[in-house]
Structures are given as C-alpha cells and as structure tokens.
C-alpha cells in the first residue's frame, strides 16, 4: 500500500492543564507522543497551553466588547482556524475535564455561528480529537463531552478519536513521572502501556486520514447544509409536515 502524504496538513494541540508554563504537564507528556507521530509524517504541529494566555470567560467572539479588559481568544482563534486538526488535551479533575477545557469549549461555541465561504458553519471540514490523562476513572466520560461538543459546533470526528491514560484510583504517580515517593520509575509511568500507546497511535492516524480526505475533496458539499442558503430560502428536499397536510 502506498504511504499517504500528510505534509499539507496542520494540527494544533490545545492543552487544558491547570498548570502554567514552565510547570510540568502530564497531559503535555502524552500529547507529545501524538505530536511526534505527526512530526514524522511531516505535519505542521503547534501546541498551546491555554492557561498561559489571557483568555476571557464567555460565549462571545471577543469578550472585550462585553466588559472584559483583555481577551487573547481572537488571536488564538486565528491559529485554530489555520489548522486542519484540533486535538483537545485535558487532565481529569473530580471525574470531569478541567475548567480550562470547559472554557475552551465555550469559546469555540462562541465562534460556531460564523460561516465559511460556502455559507456553512465555520468549523465544517475540520477534524477533532481528544487526549485525556488522570489518576481516576473518567477518560471515556471526558472524551464523550469533548467530542460531542466538537462535532456539535461543526468538527468532523473520525473513528477512535480519543486516547488517554489513567493510574490507579486515588493518589499516585501520573503519566510520565520518573519518580514517586522517592522510588524511581523506569520506564516513566505509562510509557509501557500498550493500550495507551495503541490508542494514541490509532487516534493520530485516524485524524490524519480524515483531515486528508476532507482536504482533498475541498471540504463538504454545501448541498443541504448551508446556513446562508437556508436563510435565503433554500430548503432542498425538506418539507414541513404541517404544510404537507394542508396541500
């Protein structure tokens, strides 16, 4: 089989850790596994730690127009829109995605009413996935919420679009730790998890395959899904049942 060429793709990873740089982020450690695969496939990759940026809370495109003094979101949104793939990374806290991750989702939602050149919602044609780390159950629960939110605003979600690692229930070492309570860990915690390594690899390539396919076909046809055309009166094959009864 001929090896696919992914070199025309761009991916952005947004790490929703609660730790500001340069503190170690265990989520970033797992993100790095996926990033390295993409790098070897000649994909342009960038990672952003959202907490390092002055992003306002809210559901409007620019919160400086709604009482906030500063808001870096509009500039970050340009980076997100420049990428074909968005991967959301988050730790698990109390069984849920982080508060920073929820802020990201709300700000993505704020942009979802914008449209592209086809009159479709602006995230149509872009691909999304998630990376989760933690020391308690919740990988699938967090991924469900993140991937639902991404597809709701317009992202396309491939098969196996999530990966993660969790340790034992309760306090313990986190992904990538090399020491815990004075005990050296070699290899680093989680690095030898076949389940995590496999799912991270499959997720990464599935994101690449779907993004590549969509890009080659120049996005989705706007037949039946253009907000602009709907507002102009197009209804394609839709017919209101109540109207049909009156005919």
Contact between 155 and 126 under an 8 Å Cβ cutoff? The reply is yes
Is residue 74 within 8 Å of 90, Cβ to Cβ? no
φ, ψ at 91 (rounded to 5°): -80, 165
The pLDDT of residue 136 is 78
List, in order, residues 6 or more apart from 193 with CB less than 8 Å away. Answer: 165
The per-residue pLDDT for 240 is 73
Q: What percent of the chain has pLDDT over 70?
A: 98
pLDDT score recorded for residue 135: 85
pLDDT reading at 192 higher than 90 = yes
* pLDDT for 232: 93
Strand duo 10-15 + 85-93: pairing: parallel
Query: Largest Cα–Cα distance of the chain, in whole Å?
Result: 79
Confidence band, pLDDT 50/70/90 cuts, at residue 238: very high
DSSP state of 128: E
Neighbours of 187 (CB within 10 A): 10
pLDDT of residue 242: 65
What is the arithmetic mean of pLDDT over 130-150?
94
What pLDDT, in 10s, does the model give residues 106-127? 999 999 999 999 999 999 999 9
Mean pLDDT computed over 228-238: 93
Q: By the 8 A CB rule, do 163 and 140 touch? A: no
């Amino acid at each position: 089989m001929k090896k696919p060429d992914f070199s025309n793709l761009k991916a952005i990873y947004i790490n929703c850790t609660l730790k500001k740089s340069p503190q170690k982020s265990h989520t970033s450690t797992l993100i790095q596994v996926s990033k390295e695969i993409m790098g070897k496939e000649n994909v342009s990759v960038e990672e952003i730690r959202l907490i390092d940026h002055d992003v306002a809370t809210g559901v409007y495109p620019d919160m400086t127009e709604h009482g906030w003094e500063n808001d870096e979101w509009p500039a970050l949104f340009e980076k997100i829109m420049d990428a074909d793939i968005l991967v959301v990374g988050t730790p698990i806290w109390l069984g849920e995605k982080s508060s920073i991750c929820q802020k990201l989702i709300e700000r993505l939602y704020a942009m979802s009413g914008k449209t592209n050149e086809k009159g479709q919602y602006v995230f149509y044609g872009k691909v999304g996935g998630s990376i989760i780390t933690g020391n308690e159950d919740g990988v699938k629960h967090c991924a469900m919420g993140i991937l639902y939110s991404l597809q709701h605003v317009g992202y396309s979600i491939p098969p196996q679009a999530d990966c993660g690692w969790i340790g034992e229930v309760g306090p313990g070492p986190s992904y990538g730790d090399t020491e815990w309570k004075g005990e050296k860990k070699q290899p680093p915690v989680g690095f030898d998890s076949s389940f995590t390594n496999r799912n991270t690899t499959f997720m990464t390539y599935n994101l690449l395959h779907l993004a590549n396919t969509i890009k080659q076909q120049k996005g989705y046809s706007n037949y039946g899904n253009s907000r602009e055309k709907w507002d102009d009166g197009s209804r394609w094959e839709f017919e209101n049942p109540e109207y049909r009864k009156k005919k």
